[in-house]
Structure 1
């Protein structure tokens, strides 16, 4: 384990511990808001330690986390539960029934699931930060930028969603890990990782773009080599083999990644369009909640829902349309201005990344990065840093997520949507810090009173491994860029815990 990975893991562990402690303190100190959220009745008798676990970790179960916990405990009962993909509930239930099984005499299933959230998401976050660091090293080709990006990820503005009972940490670990494997050339393993990610969140389907683009780059590179090293019929056969292999890889990989989504939609179709459950088998308290709130439950004696009659009966699209009113420009209302303001910092990072990258590489962007116009340029020896040609596809991916999230989703979700799906917000933030913060420059600053403290080891001077911690004592003397970025990350890190864990509106 390198010093950088150790520093990242240590910082990630500290931030996970602080998050769990702060959410417990803030949840106890601030009364819960009476929000109109999904709150299913408890049908299981509490055991000895349930009240203690609820007091310590109850803040992790609010808002959409309640859906994941309910699914992990009861399965998919209500129609709108199908908006939440099954991998995370399966992981939680697996932990509750295996690692936490010795506690079954003291904790109910609900209590063990809450402990599973705290332990599982903490471990998954550590995996995601290691995967992000590895991906950053191979793509950016810049050790300092990769380290700083990973440290910023540890104080992500979407922190509360990485800690609470949401699938963001799981999705980030699988996505960053899958992209790292794809960059290393392990295409099949990458497809499997990205396929599993699709079982956690629907936007895993967007990762198909990486599978289509990165192998295409490799194929073009091979063709360029064969053009100069082979002649005659051999060249034609090699060209054909490269093209056929690219097509097979793309088709097979796309199929692998989409299988979890299709299987889940089929399961939803079978559950509600050809149900095998009668209302008598549903607990009365849960059935009463469905009647009171208008939730649909499967009923073999009732008529099928209207969406079953559509040419393409996708339950997920129906839920987003009917239950969450998600659609093109539907969120563009005056009363949603506060939510747009909440999402503005993350959107600004995405816009800055796209603009700066295009400004630095206009020709490469117009060529989609697929071929080179000069023998002196190429992906084999990319320029290190944020404007590396290998970053192009990640900037495009980030921009697609930004545009879709802004125009077609509840815009306040944009913060966690992008923070768990793309490394670009952290790359551009780290790039701006290294570019504008004198305390992070290798050269000394002109003001000796604001230099980061260095330490001597064997007669050599070195800067602390964690520049974030080193900057915080000098926050007031840092550059405006540093104050803006760290202020945004840290304020959202704390505010998210305070508001979300008490049923107050957050991103």
Structure 2
């Protein structure tokens, strides 16, 4: 009897894991295929000049000894093949893992991925250094970390989707869509998207499970992986806003605001600490005339300066006629994001425009699972967390009973989806108005509402099948195009 009850949950998670592994194998195979059939646009990827200092990832080995090791590797052709796959921003991450932060512009790449690469290359994969060389091992470490982390992200997305959507079939469809998402090439390359997605989606899952401390830690790590990770503090802002309403109007206490503020500060700490680290290395100890301009600012913000000065990032700065192809390249993901937001706002205006304060009675339970809304308050914060954990256990974070009854009134249109919709809206607006718009495909690719909405419309009566073909064709085309262009050093996203 127990086995029968747990089989749907185990079967779906197994399917998600298999899909994630298969998708990674497909992407890696395509990379190898295109690298074999075509010549890369830029052949400088294997070039690896000496570090500017002896502060390398192997501090006990001097540069001369490292060069000797590099010249006497057992499989130089294999090492060269791995190094040639280190392209675009991957060069920065591997270089930072090997030599640290040598130049001002490298501080645009946050340190979590380089630290993980350095750690793995000096421990588990260290015996491979004499076989393929140090830089190849660093590159291999990046590939291993990101492809394994991707599988974990897919599982977290499935568990999160089950709780939010209250429909494990819809959760399965959304998770499989994520496994074959249009930005797949970046999740199997040496980019920070995978770790960012892991700690963002994982943090969100822990948040709805009532584990606020773990959620804060995971969101903080997402901000240590990519700068936009600090936006995850918005989930706690949203939670605190509703708890403050509860405290002020129902219980006449407002101390919850302090707790929410402290959680947000903890999420900001890793990113702010890294900016301070950059200020210490670049600005301190230099004469004013030799300082970089941002060092003299009243509030010295290294990351903003680098993005603006070296990459031309800024509000409306990308709105140029010559950038129209890049807007076209980003239009599918931006259109999907816009449709998901507009559809939710159109069908649930009372939830969307009231920010969840006026959620109808049938949505109260789902909202309470996510943020303990005021209408479902209990006597204490601990009781609220306990109630949320019990609800999560009941609704699917643990093993789902086979006879679990789905609610037709919830799913994608549940009040619990609202915070994710608002998060997606902010991210999409930033990608369109501020960033290089072509990066929107990978910038938004982790966002759960995209896959929840796609899963929702694929089952809609009438046009669902057609939309399903469109979504899958879009993903397949971008996987093929991305693996072809990106791996051969041609511009993609």
Which TM-score tier does this pair reach, normalised by the shorter chain? 0.7 to 0.9
Tell me what 2:387 maps to: none
Equivalents in 2 of 1:406, 1:37: separation in Å? 30
Tell me what 2:332 maps to: 345
User: Displacement of 1:49 after TM fit?
Assistant: 2.6
Tell me what 1:104 maps to: 129
Q: Structure 1, residues 431-451: CA drift from partner, whole Å, max 9, x if none?
A: 11121578x8xxxxxxxxxxx
Match of 1:6 among 5, 14, 18: 14
Report the secondary structure of 2:459's partner residue.
helix
Which has the greater radius of gyration? 1
Tell me what 2:474 maps to: 488
Match of 1:34 among 3, 25, 42: 42
Q: Structure 1, residues 381-429: CA drift from partner, whole Å, max 9, x if none?
A: 7832111111111111101111111000000000100013x21111111
**Aligned 8 A contact 2:46 2:80 in 1:** no
2:284 pairs with 1:274: yes
User: Displacement of 1:217 after TM fit?
Assistant: 3.6
For 1:63-82, list aligned pairs within 5 A. Answer: 63-82=88-107
Equivalents in 2 of 1:250, 1:361: separation in Å? 27
Tell me what 1:179 maps to: 204
For 1:190-269, list aligned pairs within 5 A. Answer: 190-217=215-242, 220=245, 238-240=251-253, 243-244=254-255, 246-269=256-279
Report the secondary structure of 1:156's partner residue.
coil
User: Displacement of 1:306 after TM fit?
Assistant: 1.9
Equivalents in 2 of 1:38, 1:83: separation in Å? 22
Equivalents in 2 of 1:322, 1:193: separation in Å? 31
Match of 2:309 among 322, 335, 357: 322
Report the secondary structure of 1:505's partner residue.
coil
Equivalents in 2 of 1:300, 1:132: separation in Å? 50
Structure 1 unmatched runs, 5+: 228-237, 276-298, 441-478
User: Displacement of 1:220 after TM fit?
Assistant: 5.0
Tell me what 2:323 maps to: 336
**Aligned 8 A contact 2:203 2:215 in 1:** yes
Match of 2:26 among 18, 21, 37: 18
Match of 1:419 among 422, 445, 453: 445
Report the secondary structure of 1:503's partner residue.
coil
Equivalents in 2 of 1:375, 1:90: separation in Å? 48
**Aligned 8 A contact 1:202 1:261 in 2:** yes
Report the secondary structure of 1:76's partner residue.
coil
For 1:398-437, list aligned pairs within 5 A. Answer: 398-420=424-446, 422-436=447-461
Q: Structure 1, residues 11-50: CA drift from partner, whole Å, max 9, x if none?
A: 1011111211221121121111139999753674342234
Compared CA separation, residues 432 and 497, structure 1 to 2 (3 A) = same
TM-score by length of 2: 0.82
Report the secondary structure of 1:211's partner residue.
helix
Report the secondary structure of 1:386's partner residue.
helix
Tell me what 1:386 maps to: 412
Equivalents in 2 of 1:376, 1:172: separation in Å? 31
Equivalents in 1 of 2:89, 2:76: separation in Å? 21
Structure 2 unmatched runs, 5+: 1-8, 52-66, 368-406
Report the secondary structure of 1:199's partner residue.
helix
TM-score by length of 1: 0.80
**Aligned 8 A contact 2:294 2:301 in 1:** yes
Match of 1:136 among 161, 168, 171: 161
**Aligned 8 A contact 1:35 1:504 in 2:** no
User: Displacement of 1:108 after TM fit?
Assistant: 2.2
Equivalents in 1 of 2:229, 2:335: separation in Å? 23
**Aligned 8 A contact 2:94 2:138 in 1:** yes
Q: Structure 1, residues 69-103: CA drift from partner, whole Å, max 9, x if none?
A: 11011100011000000000000111101110122
Q: Which moved more, 1:98-107 or 1:4-13?
A: 98-107
Compared CA separation, residues 22 and 187, structure 1 to 2 (3 A) = same
Equivalents in 2 of 1:425, 1:376: separation in Å? 24
**Aligned 8 A contact 1:28 1:55 in 2:** no
Compared CA separation, residues 185 and 38, structure 1 to 2 (3 A) = farther
Tell me what 1:472 maps to: none
Equivalents in 2 of 1:176, 1:80: separation in Å? 29
Compared CA separation, residues 146 and 304, structure 1 to 2 (3 A) = same
User: Displacement of 1:9 after TM fit?
Assistant: 0.2
For 1:472-483, list aligned pairs within 5 A. Answer: 479-483=465-469
2:49 pairs with 1:62: no
Compared CA separation, residues 394 and 38, structure 1 to 2 (3 A) = farther
The alignment of Structure 1 onto Structure 2 pairs a total of residues equal to 427
Report the secondary structure of 1:369's partner residue.
coil
Compared CA separation, residues 83 and 120, structure 1 to 2 (3 A) = same
User: Displacement of 1:376 after TM fit?
Assistant: 5.0
Q: Which moved more, 1:61-70 or 1:422-431?
A: 422-431
**Aligned 8 A contact 2:240 2:257 in 1:** no
Q: Structure 1, residues 198-250: CA drift from partner, whole Å, max 9, x if none?
A: 000000111111011134445656888xx5xxxxxxxxxx431xx31x21221
